[in-house]
């Protein structure tokens, strides 16, 4: 929890209500006047994306959460819409609301947690809950109808999708294409080797050394069925459905002044997750250039931000620094029959038993401790 004693009534605007933005908004010090702007009326998690396409109903249970269920957001003014611009000298944000309105919101501190757009996995479209749920069903339906499925991309999303689809559809012909020698760049070598063996064990055919030749402007936002061309010289490959996870990541920062951004469009931050020339601006999550892997979302960056916002607004204590691990970590494949395996930065892994996943990991740790309480879904 952030330091107490921050200036009461000070205005904080949180832009983005994905995994990290929700945690920031829910854990800011009491007494602040907080406005949060999100493109959807629900948390549409960016976690366990492989399960999202393989088992959308199971994924929905814990990873699609209407914002009205978050008790700690009761004290936050939540706006459904999109920020169109930020005026740094005036310290205001211009919001285009989902119902077509326009409002201007002043801030003393601005927190940017807008994430990235990455194919159909993540986007910054303004949607209602029905549209989100319809999209989940549409993708799953197209995959269900296919006999041969190709997943292009060897990061965590591609590996998770290939693994979970193979587990759920053992009758399908599953292929995973990636440019390196092993999947999961950025993870510990032991993790990479272990997951490659697990993929082969469930019947996924691995194709290392394949880099797709993608036309300019291609985003991977839709499933395709055209033959896949390779810039690495291999023969084209044809599948009934091609699922793209090639990491064409675009930061959702089009509304921000260029002075806040690095050459790739991510928000420049120091070790305190604070904009170097604008101490009233913080950024966290995939949108923040916090380290080469932009890992502050997974590595508790929200705690650093909520604490440092409190300090910036007059709270006690010193600013905290964000210290990223050397390697990526996470569950990668999500919940399986034997539980949830978490691969650590040191290459070792531990498993939460299946019986404990819902009551301990989700109900207790995530919902009560991280989110600070969820209402029952109605």
pLDDT at residue 319 tops 60: yes
Q: Please compute the mean of the pLDDT values over residues 270-283 and round it to a whole number.
A: 97
Residue 10's pLDDT band (cuts 50, 70, 90): very high
C-beta atoms surrounding 368 within 10 Å: 12
Residue 1's pLDDT band (cuts 50, 70, 90): very low
pLDDT at residue 157 tops 50: yes
Among 50-59, 115-124, 149-158, the least confident range: 115-124
Model confidence over 166-222: pLDDT tens digits?
Answer: 999 999 999 999 999 999 999 999 999 999 999 999 999 999 999 999 988 888 888
Give the contacts of 309 (CB within 8 A, at least 6 positions apart).
2, 6, 12, 28, 29, 109, 111, 282
According to DSSP H, which parts of the chain are helical? 19-27, 49-54, 56-63, 129-144, 156-168, 189-201, 301-312, 354-356
Model confidence over 39-95: pLDDT tens digits?
Answer: 999 999 988 888 999 999 989 999 999 999 999 999 999 999 999 999 999 999 999
Alpha-carbon distance of 42 to 67, in angstroms, equals 5
Give the contacts of 292 (CB within 8 A, at least 6 positions apart).
none
Q: Kindly report the backbone phi and psi dihedral angles of residue 327, in degrees, each rounded to the nearest multiple of 5, phi listed first.
A: -115, 155
Alpha-carbon distance of 315 to 307, in angstroms, equals 9
**Which burial class, exposed, middle or buried, applies to 274 when counting CB atoms under 10 A from its CB (0-12, 13-18, 19+)?**
buried
Residue 231's pLDDT band (cuts 50, 70, 90): very high
Q: Please compute the mean of the pLDDT values over residues 348-369 and round it to a whole number.
A: 94
pLDDT at residue 8 tops 90: no
Give 328's strand partners.
187
CB-CB contact of 127 with 47 (8 Å)? no
pLDDT at residue 5 tops 60: no
- Residue found by looking up tokens 């809950």 in the block: 129
Alpha-carbon distance of 342 to 357, in angstroms, equals 12
pLDDT at residue 30 tops 50: yes
pLDDT at residue 141 tops 50: yes
CATH numbers and ranges of domains, the chain: 11-128+250-331+354-370 (3.50.50.60), 140-244 (3.50.50.60)
Residue 293's pLDDT band (cuts 50, 70, 90): confident
- pTM, whole model, 2 decimals? 0.93
pLDDT at residue 140 tops 90: no
pLDDT at residue 121 tops 80: no
State the chain's mean pLDDT as an integer.
Answer: 93
Alpha-carbon distance of 333 to 352, in angstroms, equals 13
Give the contacts of 6 (CB within 8 A, at least 6 positions apart).
29, 31, 32, 309, 310, 311, 313, 314, 315
Q: What is the pLDDT of residue 7?
A: 61
pLDDT at residue 2 tops 70: no
Q: Please compute the mean of the pLDDT values over residues 257-280 and round it to a whole number.
A: 97
Q: What is the pLDDT of residue 69?
A: 96
From residue 9, how far is each of 103, 109, 118, 236, 259 by CA, in Å? 20, 12, 37, 60, 28
pLDDT at residue 349 tops 70: yes
C-beta atoms surrounding 132 within 10 Å: 16
Mark 136-162 as b/e (b = at least 16 C-beta within 10 Å): beebbebbeebeebbbbbbbbbbbbbb
Q: Please compute the mean of the pLDDT values over residues 259-273 and round it to a whole number.
A: 97
Q: What is the pLDDT of residue 6?
A: 59
Alpha-carbon distance of 18 to 8, in angstroms, equals 26
Q: What is the pLDDT of residue 4?
A: 46
DSSP 8-class letter at 74: G
Alpha-carbon distance of 225 to 241, in angstroms, equals 5
Q: What is the pLDDT of residue 73?
A: 97
Give 250's strand partners.
117
Q: What is the pLDDT of residue 161?
A: 95
Alpha-carbon distance of 154 to 221, in angstroms, equals 17
Name the percent of the chain lying above pLDDT 70. 98
């Amino acid at each position: 929890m952030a330091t107490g004693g921050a200036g009461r009534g000070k205005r904080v605007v949180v832009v983005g209500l994905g995994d990290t933005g929700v945690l920031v908004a829910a854990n800011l010090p009491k007494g602040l006047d907080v406005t949060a702007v999100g493109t959807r009326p629900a948390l549409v998690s960016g976690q366990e994306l492989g399960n999202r396409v393989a088992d959308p109903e199971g994924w929905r249970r814990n990873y699609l959460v209407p914002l009205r269920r978050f008790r700690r957001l009761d004290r936050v003014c939540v706006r459904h819409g999109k920020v169109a611009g930020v005026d740094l000298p005036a310290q205001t944000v211009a919001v285009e609301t989902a119902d077509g309105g326009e409002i201007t919101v002043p801030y003393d501190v601005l927190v940017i947690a807008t994430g990235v757009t990455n194919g159909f996995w993540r986007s910054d479209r303004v949607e209602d809950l029905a549209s989100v749920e319809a999209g989940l069903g549409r993708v799953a339906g197209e995959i269900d109808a296919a006999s041969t499925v190709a997943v292009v991309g060897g990061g965590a999303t591609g590996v998770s999708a290939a693994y979970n689809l193979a587990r759920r559809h053992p009758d399908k012909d599953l292929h995973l294409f990636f440019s390196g020698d092993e999947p999961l760049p950025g993870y510990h070598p032991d993790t990479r080797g272990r997951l490659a063996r697990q993929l082969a064990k469930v019947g996924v055919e691995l194709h290392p050394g394949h880099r797709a030749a993608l036309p300019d402007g291609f985003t991977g936002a839709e499933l395709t069925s055209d033959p896949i061309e390779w810039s690495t010289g291999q023969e084209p490959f044809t599948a009934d459905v091609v699922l793209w996870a090639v990491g064409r990541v675009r930061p959702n920062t089009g509304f921000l002044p260029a002075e806040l951004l690095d050459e790739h469009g991510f928000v420049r931050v120091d070790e305190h997750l604070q904009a170097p020339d604008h101490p009233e601006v913080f950024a966290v999550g995939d949108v923040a250039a916090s380290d080469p892997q932009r890992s502050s979302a997974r590595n508790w960056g929200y705690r650093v931000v909520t604490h440092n916002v409190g300090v910036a607004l007059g709270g006690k204590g010193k600013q905290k620094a964000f210290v990223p691990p050397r390697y990526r970590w996470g569950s990668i494949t999500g919940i399986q029959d034997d539980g949830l395996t978490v691969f650590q930065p040191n290459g070792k892994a531990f498993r939460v038993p299946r019986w404990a996943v819902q009551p301990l990991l989700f109900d207790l740790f995530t919902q009560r401790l991280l989110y600070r309480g969820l209402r029952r879904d109605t």
